[in-house]
Structure 1
Amino acid sequence: MEFNSLYNLDLRSNEFQAKVVAFYYKHWNDFNMPYHKHNSVEIMYVISGKCIVNTVNDSFSMRKGDFILLDANVPHNLVVDKDSPCRMLNIEFIFEQKTANFPSIKDLEQGNPVLASLLARARPYILLRDSDEVYHTLKNLVFELDKGSLNNEWMVQLQLAQLLIRMAGLAAELEDPSYQQIDLYVKNSMDYIHHHYDYPIQVKDIAASVNLHPGYFHRIFKSNTGQTVVEYLTSLRVEKAKMLLAHTDIPVAEISDSIGINSREYFSAIFKKYTGHTPGGYRKSIEKMSWTNLSEDFIHPTQ
């Protein structure tokens, strides 16, 4: 049995999973698509250029990073101007009875209030703005689908689950009246930092990622987080370094390169400032703690 609407109540009470039925990249130029509809949920993601997506009641001008989530059987068309070609990634999916031990839509909804909120809205379409996370997930999903192997079905289902949850988060932010543009700038910049902390990025690079002047960006970031951009980036790098020192055998001399700091001396200085230990001393303290715990377990085994 298949259910095609994202908002079918049976998805929230029975065991169903998403199934992709179509996916493709397409370069459009000077194109006016007739109105049509699909018996599936569709995501139309603009990779580059501009386009217009029309529904019966609304018209959406879309540019790079915009995508529209269309529920099944919603009439729509696509218009692309000859002077501004558009490259898109489209995915269509339906819902079918769960066939293996994958998380069902019901499982995902029960474990994620934001997704539950999206499914309860029952909107035929919604235009969303991506900060690269959805596109990254879409690309990974297409990569797994292209493999065409039965063995990677788990990866496909995980990517689909991640896609639904990410879209739900963006929809919640869009519809929250207290959500301000400044908050969006800060959130997107933090996303950029978390994806690029292992590069030697600077404040100007982070500001450019959200199209803001560095000085203005610095002010709104500190106002919203209580930290400067540099403090936030440095704190994140130190936490990543602590994880690498504690759980990997990467040489201490190479840890700084793994977190985007070119100078080993500078890395050692800031690490000691934040933790009270040198990087080498921190690793030794973790190893000593692990050995102590192991010895205690050996002497006093758990009953």
Structure 2
Amino acid sequence: MRLLLIEDEPDSLIGMKNAIDSLYNVEVELHTSNNAEDAREVIFKHYPELIITDIMLPGISGLDLIEEVVNKDYQPKVIIVSGFDNFEYARRSIHFGAVDYLLKPYSTKEFTEKVDRTLSLIKEEKKQLQYTEQQKSFAEIGTRSMRDNDLVEFCLKRTPLEEHLYHRLCLWNIDWLANKSYSLLIFDVKGYPDGKLYTEENQLKTFAIGNIMQDVIRDHIHSLLFKDPKNRWVLLTTIEDTEEIARSIHKKVKAYQKIELAIGISTKVSSLEEMHAAYSSALKEFQINSLTNSEDYVKSHHLISTDFTTANHLASLVINKDEECIRQVVKVFFQEVILIDGLESRDDITRKTLNYLSQILASISEQTLKELKEIPMSVWEKVDECTTLEEYEKVLSEYLTSVGHAVSTHGTNSIIERAIRIIHSSYMEDLSLQMIADELSLHPVWLSQLFKKETGQTYMDFLTETRINKAKTLLRETSMKVYEIAESVGYQNLQHFGTIFKKRTSQTPKEYRYGK
């Protein structure tokens, strides 16, 4: 507790100082002054809680000094010391809040009793103020805790905006969630897609990240922070440029705390009900960003799921030794694992990766009619050691490339041989490339490319040639009518058959039959 003695009589000042030192040696931080000018400097530097001042001082009086320094933000307790029993002095003392009046001459006992009584009053007021502030703090924490619990609930499940919920939003001054467009962002330490362990070190990191985020968004009215069940920071904000605010937070956290952040950003939503969808979207982006070395923020709504990642299609690429396409499909696969399938941990990614690899090997074996070995233990170990998406992609791509080189080149021919057998047995039907691709468990685009590579013809050219060759045989060796031959080789339109036949042979079917 800080105390200031102001007395221009040296003996009196020493006496007061000794009395206080003997009673409050440790408890009181004591300052002394023998004039108003020096006292003013002490007051504005230390802001003593108790000032004991003589009225008669060199320059200005003690009363004038107190009236000068007391204001609404600084109201110390004051004991006035005077050699005059003057009512006007007493009245002025009471006016600016003096708690006692000590008339000279006074005894040491009288002096210490007044000081002790005033110090006790200060202690009691401090205690009461602390209690009031504590209760206010508890109330604020309780209110914020209730608010955050509800916000977490809104994130975890779709919640219609009912009247009682709107009243709560208004109570917490966040009713803008019901009538403005906003985005949801998720932040946490990079490398923990499924949440950090609950340790003291991680708690300190979370606290530090939150402080920096709060500082960044301080001037943005419609922004608030809370933590999700995995202790990740969630930011709700109406800020338009969310990527800019994310970069600002990322930059400051990295600069001040040396922490690399993973970030997920949702698209804008415009209702409380959509908070769940926004959270799910941001969480998927966060999980990918958490598992990648890149600082770019993945946009889940920009990624298009395709059937290019099927095990059968990737098996075809492996057989064809298309290394670039293998890498591309593997990359998309891992994005789909997180964005579409979702994940709980790295163990989930490892399990799905090995299952996917088993399906690819089975498809390669089926397509090449060649039995392959099981996944080597070394590959299992490499997959299990992966910590980022780049590492998963590298291990899987390199292994599949090696499998492609190990598979006999006859494997590719066998695929086309099977396709040709299907054409020869079903050319008379409405046979499309998609039907053959489905039969062979291949993607039609890749089958088309492979067919042209192996035969030198497009699929349609080969099918047409097969049909026309069969028609030529039937025209020369049977007495079937031309329209019957057309139907038997897959053409339901006689005119179309005639056009195709002449284009291929430079003769009409009738001319060919009679050898013209």
Normalised by the length of structure 1, the TM-score is: 0.35
Higher relative contact order at CA 8 Å, sep ≥6: structure 1 or structure 2?
1
More strand by share: 1
Structure with larger Rg: 2
